[in-house]
Amino acid sequence: MPDAFTILAAAGADYAPPSAFGIQDYVWVSLAMLVLIIVFVWKKVPGMITGGLDKKIAEIKQQLDEAKSLRAEAETLRDEYAAKIASAEEDAQKMMEGAQREADAILEKAETDSEAMVARRKRMAEDKIAAAERDAVAGVKAKAVEAAASASRKLIAERHTSEADAKLADEVISSL
């Protein structure tokens, strides 16, 4: 791409690039840059820049080291909590097993107690039935004895005369 001076010259303009003391402008720019670089070196700007960069690098390294230590601490805590969780799960499992054993024992005891209660109530019912049978048999016997006594009184009264009474008394006396 052509520069502005070439374009102006091609257009027929009578234009000369600027210069001072016979030195072209690009030389002045080069000299200014050289003076600026010398001032920077004299004022130790590169050292300040490298010092600032070194300081920044040290801060970054410190932050990285701190991050590493925090990560290690976090991993330690994670492992610790994982162990606690595993321990809690084991404890919960043991508790569940213990509760299951207790429930089984309670169920077994309840079955045993209910069987014993059923047997005891059965025995009590059988005893009541036997007592009722005895009472019924005794009542029937009493009724039978009463009926027999009443019937024998009636029969004796009807069939027994004074002659039979005397004969019976003689037999009793002679047997003694």
Contact status, residue 15 vs residue 9, Cβ threshold 8 Å: yes
What's 20's DSSP letter?
E
Candidates 60, 81, 83; CA nearest to 68 is: 60
176 pLDDT higher than 60: yes
Query: What pLDDT was estimated at residue 85?
Result: 92
Candidates 63, 60, 81; CA nearest to 71 is: 63
Q: In b/e form, how buried is each residue of 139-167, taking b as 16+ CB within 10 angstroms?
A: eeeeeeeeeeeeeeeeeeeeeeeeeeeee
**Portion of the chain with pLDDT greater than 90, in percent:** 40
87 pLDDT higher than 70: yes
Mean pLDDT along residues 64-76: 94
> pLDDT tens, 13-41?
566 666 777 788 888 889 999 999 888 88
The vertex-26 CA angle with 23 and 31, nearest 5°, equals: 80
Query: What pLDDT was estimated at residue 167?
Result: 77
> pLDDT tens, 103-133?
999 999 989 999 999 999 999 999 999 888 8
Query: What pLDDT was estimated at residue 170?
Result: 81
Q: Which residues contact 25 (CB under 8 A, 6 or more apart)?
A: 17, 18, 19
86 pLDDT higher than 70: yes
Mean pLDDT along residues 7-11: 64
Q: Count Cα neighbours of 91 within 13 Å in the Cβ-side half-sphere.
A: 6
159 pLDDT higher than 90: no
Tokens of 28: 């002045």
